[in-house]
């Protein structure tokens, strides 16, 4: 039985579409963990998580629609282990299967790190939101195209207000903040490295499990390291500038103010540099 392929019919409205595809597809993935110093270099570990996936391509003006099933076919053909190399493979297959000039993939997922409390060393897991955004543009038949890959981590932190500390006889208001840190790198950067860079720039990092000695440490450590939201993005930017692997960064910090009915916000972005592979 022959079935009509409606998507391949001509469209006479002369309007190309920038991105078309599938969004909010839940998909199980495995993400590699950074090897610990005590482990051998060939030892690799990973954690299982669930990602929200978006797969899109451009659509020329003369096509009525795209073939949605092919997006899912390409994703499933790569299994569940996700790393930079097979992200590029996914994009290349999308370009080929959908006859497009540009393809995009976006993965968003929770990433867990085992963290010890600062004094008692009590162990617990803390989660961070991570995003992989990748694009492959097909320039011509002789070129593999331009590949762009951005990693983003969303890191909760503690910030203590320098002004409040300076003007108060005792105490200072502090709050939880959130940093959204995105990078383009010369070579792949571990998620754990990005998180550590952010946490080292705040008044104090966050923990899931704290005993009383740990709470005392966290409170006093934050008090000894006050940072405005402006300080926070500058601290991170200085550390990013000092890392030759980081070609571009975008840093957003938002403090969920404890004594105001609004949030404090700051952003720093470095001029982007796309890399050709």
Residue 277 has pLDDT above 50, yes or no: no
**Domains in the chain: boundaries:** 6-269
Residue 93 has pLDDT above 50, yes or no: yes
Q: What is the pLDDT of residue 140?
A: 58
Query: How far apart, in whole angstroms, are the C-alpha atoms of residue 180 and residue 155?
Result: 6
Residue 167's pLDDT band, with cuts at 50, 70 and 90, is: very high
Mean pLDDT of the chain: 88
Q: What is the pLDDT of residue 8?
A: 63
Q: CB-based contacts of 57: which residues, under 8 Å, 6+ apart?
A: 19, 20, 21, 66, 94, 95, 98, 100, 102, 103, 104
**38-75: pLDDT as tens digits:** 454 555 678 899 999 999 999 876 777 677 888 999 99
Q: What is the pLDDT of residue 3?
A: 59
- The residue whose two tokens read 């950067």 is 189
Averaged pLDDT, 22-32 = 91
Longest dimension (CA), the chain: 84
The fold adopted by the segment(s) 6-269 is Urate Oxidase (3.10.270)
Query: How far apart, in whole angstroms, are the C-alpha atoms of residue 207 and residue 124?
Result: 8
Query: How far apart, in whole angstroms, are the C-alpha atoms of residue 133 and residue 162?
Result: 36
Q: How far is CA 62 from CA 55, 139, 246, 272, in A?
A: 21, 20, 40, 33
**178-212: pLDDT as tens digits:** 999 999 999 989 999 999 999 999 999 999 999 99
Q: What is the 3-state secondary structure (H, E, C) of 66-119?
A: CCHHHHHHHHHCCCCEECHHHHHHHHHHHHHHHCCCEEEEEEEEEEEEEEECCC
Query: How far apart, in whole angstroms, are the C-alpha atoms of residue 92 and residue 185?
Result: 20
């Amino acid at each position: 039985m022959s079935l009509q392929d409606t998507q391949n019919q001509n469209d006479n409205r002369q309007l190309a579409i920038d991105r078309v595809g599938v969004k909010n597809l839940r998909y199980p993935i495995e993400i590699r963990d950074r090897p610990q110093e005590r482990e051998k270099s060939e030892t690799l570990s990973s954690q299982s998580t669930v990602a929200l996936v978006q797969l899109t391509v451009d659509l020329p003006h003369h096509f009525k629609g795209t073939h949605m099933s092919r997006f899912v076919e390409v994703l499933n053909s790569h299994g569940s282990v996700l790393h930079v190399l097979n992200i590029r493979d996914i994009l290349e297959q999308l370009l080929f299967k959908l006859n497009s000039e540009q393809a995009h993939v976006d993965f968003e997922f929770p990433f867990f790190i085992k963290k010890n409390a600062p004094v008692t060393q009590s162990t617990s897991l803390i989660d961070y939101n991570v995003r992989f955004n990748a694009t492959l543009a097909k320039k011509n038949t002789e070129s593999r195209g331009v590949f762009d890959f951005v990693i983003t981590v969303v890191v909760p932190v503690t910030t203590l207000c320098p002004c409040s500390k300076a003007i108060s006889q005792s105490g200072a208001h502090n709050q939880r903040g959130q940093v959204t840190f995105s990078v383009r790198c010369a070579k792949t950067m571990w998620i754990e490295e990005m998180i550590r860079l952010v946490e080292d720039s705040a008044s104090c990092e966050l923990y899931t499990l704290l005993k009383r000695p740990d709470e005392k440490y966290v409170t006093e450590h934050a008090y000894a390291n006050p940072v405005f939201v402006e300080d926070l993005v500058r601290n991170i930017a200085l550390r990013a500038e000092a890392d030759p692997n980081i070609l571009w960064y975008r840093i957003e910090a938002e403090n969920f103010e404890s004594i105001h009915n609004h949030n404090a916000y700051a952003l720093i972005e470095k001029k982007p540099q796309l890399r050709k592979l």
